[in-house]
Amino acid sequence: MDNVEGVAKINDRLRKSMSVNQLTIELSPIVSAASNRAQLIACTKKFSDFDPEIDLLGDHSVGLFLESGEVYVFRFLYEDDRYDYSKEIGKRKLSISHISEFKSLKLGKKIRESASRAIQNEA
């Protein structure tokens, strides 16, 4: 198994289990205040449709989904000092946010384009 595939498997396992012993979960202000917060977390857990346009490395670290006509983004951030995210012990934070709160210079445009396509496909 290559490194990217191994990281993807770890990310999938952590995202599906949301084990607080191995993962810090950060909900944005909009997600935290949402009446359907539990549904948004469930959508993140069951997500499987990774888009190579936004999951640039193929490591299942970024995804977007539609819920109630709104676009949400989840993203893994790797927090260990050596950026050694391929190891089981690497610290990760899973952030879940509304697209309007997503801040990334590198991914911002691609996320917005993917969100537009997802909304058009839904209509």
Question: What pLDDT shows up at residue 103?
Answer: 80
Provide the CB-side half-sphere exposure for 114 (13 A, CA). Answer: 22
Encoded tokens for 106: 């590198």
Cα distances (Å, whole numbers) of residue 50 to 17, 29, 33, 79, 84 = 18, 24, 26, 22, 22
pLDDT by residue for the chain (123 residues), tens digit each?
468 888 898 899 999 999 877 788 999 999 999 999 999 999 999 999 999 989 988 999 999 999 998 999 999 987 665 545 555 556 788 999 999 998 876 778 888 888 888 888 876
- Count of CB atoms within 10 A of residue 15's CB? 23
Provide the CB-side half-sphere exposure for 41 (13 A, CA). Answer: 17
Question: What pLDDT shows up at residue 89?
Answer: 57
Cα distances (Å, whole numbers) of residue 94 to 39, 65, 123 = 16, 15, 29
